[in-house]
Chains A and B, each alone.
Chain A
């Protein structure tokens, strides 16, 4: 369970998160929508401790992310994150991209790590590309590789930050399909997305962010069918 309690976060004078409260249960899929600059990405990087917070608490399975005693390297093994920019490691093959962290971080042997990686790469439809270098892959393939790379650590949680936003339109579908598959398999996920149809389709709950505040959260039918907050209505009208 991810528990976010009254989290405030600033970059210098800029207040980016102004008291966020959100609890994500095991197996739940929460999508986060909202305008650019509303703090969605920042929230994700706070959850896995890439960014510090000013006040409040974030608990992942009871471990306080920003406590001084927390081993962040260990915590991150359990929280996969995939960014808008897929960040393939260009000097490694697709297989090596995926085996790197299991081998070096978890200390898994080469053969076993390769078996895990192959399984994950097959799962995202890259079983034929194991010895290819990322530069030879399309954006959609690289993004699926990044997903497999995160999954190879067997995390309990996955965070997705606009993973289709940098893709050519014809490549968006294949990546969304991969996410949908994960959701159906019961992965606990927080997805920041601009794909409203996808959000409506896979989410247990949809959260609307506005200027560092979670203005509204609810079931997709409610958020898309009967938004309560005027800002939510305005936002949904603008993206339709």
Chain B
């Protein structure tokens, strides 16, 4: 058909290499999520703070993360900063770009979640002698993370898919990068990218199912 002969064996022989790439993809996604959640919590605190410049920084971050292409964010983290003599490896640039994106989106999710938590919760904590930060840490934060759990899972899926943008900054160790390199060697384009597609699908499915298991264990109330 169309004069193209499928040669799955040739492509499947490369599967171990692609699986290695898939592991790197998961590593980048997971790291970007963990750091992204921590930064999003920080951004949330900045946005809650009374200091105008702090709020402006946080709002600026969220606005840029949500209203510019992820590709732009990753590109800036590599070639953008290189203009100022700062050179990151493709791995680090990709990680920074995705983390920036994650933090922005998650901070916005957290803001929505906070709206669902009554003001009186903080008040009750403060009445027991807690500092503002203690009330946030022990009363607000756990509820906020629970409310945001589904959006966080979605963002984790996005983080996995965003790793494919790493090739634009020379990343070749992740699933997409490995696949592209193998394609240049073998020209089994359809087969290789089809396998990569299946692997991406499998990774995101594992994440959503895993998240469900974690949620069931974590959220007892």
* Interface of A toward B, CB cutoff 8 Å: 48, 50, 73-74, 76-77, 80-81, 83, 85, 87, 89-91, 100-101, 104-106, 133-135, 146, 149-150, 153
Contacts and interface: CB of A to CB of B under 8 A. Distances in A.
B106 to A, nearest CB: 19
A146 B134 CA distance: 18
Interface stretch (B47-55, B136-144, B189-197, B200-208): B136-144
A105 B128 contact: yes
A135 B130 contact: no
Interface in B99-146: 118, 120-121, 123-131, 134, 138-139, 142-143, 146
A87 B126 contact: no
Contacts of B118: 85, 87
B217 interface: no
A87 B120 contact: yes
A156 B39 CA distance: 41
B143 A133 contact: no
Among A77, A101, A135, max chain B CB count under 10 A is at A101
Contacts of A80: 127
B143 A153 contact: no
How many of chain B's residues touch chain A, expressed as a range?
Answer: 20 to 34
B142 A91 contact: yes
B126 A153 contact: no
Given A83-B120, A104-B134, A104-B138, A91 B143 contact: yes
Nearest to A75: B129
Interface of B: 118, 120-121, 123-131, 134, 138-139, 142-143, 146, 220-221
| Top 3 A-B pairs, shortest CB-CB distance | A101-B128, A87-B124, A77-B129
A133 B142 CA distance: 15
Contacts of B127: 48, 50, 76, 80-81, 150
B123 A91 contact: no
Among B121, B124, B142, B146, max chain A CB count under 10 A is at B124
B163 to A, nearest CB: 33
B134 A105 contact: yes
Contact of B139 (A48, A50, A89, A150): A89
Contact of A153 (B129, B142, B220, B221): B129
B146 A91 contact: yes
A225 B43 CA distance: 59
Nearest to B141: A91
Given A87-B121, A91-B221, A133-B221, A50 B126 contact: yes
Contacts of B130: 73, 101, 104-105
Nearest to A85: B120
A50 B119 CA distance: 13
Given A133-B220, A133-B221, A87 B123 contact: yes
A123 B31 CA distance: 48
A149 B120 contact: no
Contacts of B126: 50, 73, 76
B133 to A, nearest CB: 11
Contacts of B123: 50, 83, 87
A90 B220 CA distance: 10
A106 B128 CA distance: 10
A105 B138 CA distance: 11
B128 A150 contact: yes
Given A74-B129, A101-B129, A105-B134, A90 B124 contact: no
A69 B220 CA distance: 42
Nearest to A88: B124
Given A87-B118, A87-B120, A87-B121, 5 more contacts: A73-B130, A76-B129, A90-B143, A105-B129, A135-B221
A153 B128 contact: yes
B124 A89 contact: yes
Contacts of B143: 90-91
B119 to A, nearest CB: 10
A96 B81 CA distance: 48
A89 B121 contact: yes
A236 B124 CA distance: 32
